[in-house]
Structure 1
Amino acid sequence: MSRWLLLAGMLLQSPVFAATYPERAVTLIEPLATRVEFGKSLAASAPKFLNQPVQIETRFGESGAVGAAAVRNARPDGYTLLLGRPASQFIRPAMAPETPYRWNDFTVLGVLEIDPLICAVKAESPYQTARDLLDAIRKNPGSLKYASVGVTTITHLGVQYMLHLAGARRDAAVGVHFENGQQAVQALLNDKVQFVCTVGGVIEPIKAGQLRGLFSTAPGRLPALPQLPNASEAGLRDMGRIVGWTALFGPRGLPADVVKRWRDVLSKVSRDPEWLASNERFGGLPAIRTMSDPEQFMRDQFALYDQLITTLDLAR
């Protein structure tokens, strides 16, 4: 090989001539069955600005831990990313020590949306307010049931914290756990439980008059339910700390150019009308443009859930 051919080969391998990320499709791991449609909305919007396809791969199980572990163990090249939730990133690792990762085993690319918890009863329920419900729970411990989608999710942890704030025992209300949020809401509609605290899935039944919302954990009033008081207005100010969210993560050690590219893409996604419409449809509050420091948000969330799980003695 001549000197010139050797030099040309070296130049082509240098950073100046390196291919720009991404060169091929990016896979988003969706670890929770309840969030697949939300993941699809990001997979539809992001390619407009990424210039490569984005595909969804489902890895369900163990409150999101199966999917999160797959991304934790993936190559840190930006081609396998995670749509993480509080359950997968904080609650499950804190409550189940055998979980094969910890919260800081990931690179956070951005917080996509925040979806407040909404506590609701059936429309015919005698409980008009959160105070009515909590009074009944205190007076008759163990007589009322609530629906959740598992002990390592905010649908369970949120109720446990509400009971703690009300001065009631952990078992003063009985949890009935379902595979997904739709089943949990249906259990309330079918009188199998007396209340539920969940994200998004109760909005339409409340609008339709089937359920009565008691409060949300939004910082203000929800645009979709402007008549619904928030936790502070309902006398449960600290419940405002408990919110759901979806964030985009990669394995720890993602290259800086990959992180920069995705943050630029997400900034553009945040102004995409189709993306904004999907947030409204799923009951979430868009967070990309308002989240100036996603790493600090995650550190704060870790501290919150670590404190709550310790305070409520929920670790096993």
Structure 2
Amino acid sequence: MKIYDATATAEALPWGPLVRAIDQTLTDLAAGRVQLPERWVLPLAPATHWFVMPAWLSAAAGDLAAMKLITYAADNPERGLPAILGDVLVLRASTGERLALLDGPTVTARRTAAVTLHAARQLAPRPVGPLLVIGTGVQALTHVTAFTEALGIDEVWVRGRTAASGLAFAQTLHQRGIYAEVATDLNEALQRCPLIVTATPAQAVCLQGTVRDDAFVAAIGAFTAQMVELDPALTRDMAQRGQVVIDSSAARHEGGDLLAAGIDLSAVQTLAERPARQDGGPVLFKSCGSALWDLAAARCVAVEAQA
């Protein structure tokens, strides 16, 4: 079994192959070649939960399994620790042979951004930017990296919980050679940016107002029924004016942004249903995460791990 640290895990998951693996895994899911049990979310301590997330491919599709075991501790950043800790185990499904052990936080960050990237390519009315990112953590940074490297976005606007955090994040992007400005006026930024990513701890509403008709909003910070990033009025407005797509069927009961707005989720399409881009109106992509995306990441490293 090969063990990948955070750096090696990131290097094993380049955007192009990872997005292609996501697309192939969606095809396999639609064809019934993927087993995807509901994830377990178990309380370990106050504000700390254990996520157990398995998924596997049939023998015909690759005979591969991925098991993610991570903890999410919302208060960890105040302790000087990452909010997400844990691993992704890659196995041969038919025999149980361990092939690789991946860094869980790195897999989570990169596969989540790659799913957003896949959705933007398929659904965004104007996938050329500028990009507004709300949040200043790992997911925000990974999404900016994905959009600048894979979509060619060359202008980023940043909004943090405080002016200081937004400025510090913009400076981090500058150091990476990315043009970034702090969005001090949210309404002005919404009119400037057709691409919007919300990537916060979802402890309070971070996006409100009115988005452009050609906007693509990826809401990825809220991944339980109780978490909300988007103002319910904005969510309802986007649903009425445009299109709502979810990353997987689990978002029908985990998508707090949609549930808080009272959206009828019975007819909302998932990525596996290959929704078509509609003419006119904004697109809201609600992502709650799924072991499906960890399985796609496992596909990227399986060939190397078995070599």
TM over 0.5, shorter chain = no
Question: What TM-score do you get using the length of structure 2 for normalisation?
Answer: 0.27
Question: What TM-score do you get using the length of structure 1 for normalisation?
Answer: 0.27
Larger radius of gyration: 1
More RCO (CA 8 Å, sep 6+) = 1
